[in-house]
Amino acid sequence: MPESDQSAETTTAYAANQAWWNEITEPHSASGMYDMAAFKAGRNRFMHQYILDEVGDVDGKSLLHLQCHFGQDTISWARLGATVTGVDFGGEAVKLARTLADEEGVDATFIHSNIYDIGDRFDKQFDVVFTSYGVLAWLHDLPEWGRIVGRAVKPGGVFYIAEFHPGGEMLQHDRPIATKEDTSIGMPYFDPGGAQSLPGEEGADYASDHKTGIDTFEWFHSMEDIIMPLIDAGLVIELFKERDWCAYRSHEGMIVDDQNRWHLPPDCPKVPFMFSIRARKPAN
């Protein structure tokens, strides 16, 4: 639970989410999506080349990875020459991240913390603050997230996010999509207000078939909800991209291409499934 927000709703939501992430860490580490054998053989993760292109060269730079899970991306950035710090509220994930870094002989710092509480855990600023793929729905307060990000970026440094687009999240999940007739809106675009409970026994986890039985809580954020906190934090957006494919099979019936990008069948309308933003803090 974020120490900064002790309301009953967030306390319940964060306790459940933390328990879910702790239980899912082991199934994730054993999953094909995280392909630990390939990672240990030296394959950097990131999943898609565009992230490397858009973040740019990190060699010699300090990099903070928010919501780093068990650290495959964080360690991958270290292999590319960055001095890395990862933060995650999953105790199991952070333990595994530290083990992985040791095994790989990579110098990396992992902090076990809710991102809302990292403020007093370090007073450093970073050349690059990075976060990706499945992070914002777990956060209840994006204005505060924007302030945390803004404080963590060095003057002249950048914040980068690659994330699932709230537009794609609207599509119904309860039946396979074969034709455009199957595409209908099942979820809101705008925040319906407060944490939404998602039953633990339903729906597919993005990386494994494991069912935890723990109901999780997520928050809906529109693109405005995501972008304005970055602008309000004084960051200047220099790149914004939207993509009509998803990084994983978010909907049954999707078709994967040879670059691991999941598309709706050809007859369907194009929907934004992913976005990325690079925002810079002006140099002093």
Ligand X SMILES: C[S@@+](CC[C@H](N)C(=O)[O-])C[C@H]1O[C@@H](n2cnc3c(N)ncnc32)[C@H](O)[C@@H]1O
Q: Which residues contact ligand X by CB under 6 A?
A: 17, 21, 67, 69, 72-73, 88-90, 93, 114-115, 132-135, 138-139
Minimum CB distance to ligand X smaller for 134 or for 234:
134
CA-CA distance, 21 to 29, in Å (whole number)? 12
Q: How far is the CB of 88 from ligand X (least distance, A)?
A: 4
What minimum distance in Å lies between the beta carbon of 166 and ligand X?
A: 15
Q: What's the min distance (Å) between Cβ of 268 and ligand X?
A: 25
- Would you say 126 or 138 has its CB closer to ligand X? 138
Q: Which residues of 146-176 are buried (b: 16+ CB within 10 A; e: fewer)?
A: bbbbbebbbeebbbbbbbbbbbbbbbeeeee
Residue 50 C-beta: closest distance to ligand X, Å: 15
Distance CA 135, CA 108 (A): 21
Minimum CB separation of residue 1 from ligand X in Å reads 9
Q: Considering the complex, state which of residue 182 and residue 275 has its C-beta at the smaller distance from ligand X.
A: 275
Does an H or E element contain 93, and which? helix 91-104
**Complex with ligand X: residue 115 or 235, whichever CB lies closer:** 115
Please write down the long-range contacts of 102-105, taking CB distance under 8 Å and 24 or more positions apart: 103/40, 104/40, 104/75, 104/79
Give backbone dihedrals phi and psi of 195, rounded to 5 degrees, phi first: -70, 135
DSSP 8-state assignment for residue 270: P
Which residue is closest to ligand X by CB?
134
What is the 8-class DSSP label of residue 176? Answer: -
Axis crossing angle, helix 91-104 with helix 8-29, rounded to the nearest 10: 40
Q: Kindly state the smallest distance separating residue 154's Cβ from ligand X, in Å.
A: 21
Of the pair 86, 157, the CB lying nearest ligand X is at: 86
Distance CA 101, CA 96 (A): 9
**How many CB atoms are closer than 10 A to CB 254?**
19
The residue (of 138 and 262) whose beta carbon lies closer to ligand X is: 138
CB of 108 to ligand X, least distance (A): 14
Nearer to ligand X, 1 or 268 (CB): 1
- The residue whose two tokens read 């076990």 is 112
Q: How many helices (H) and strands (E) in the chain?
A: 8, 11
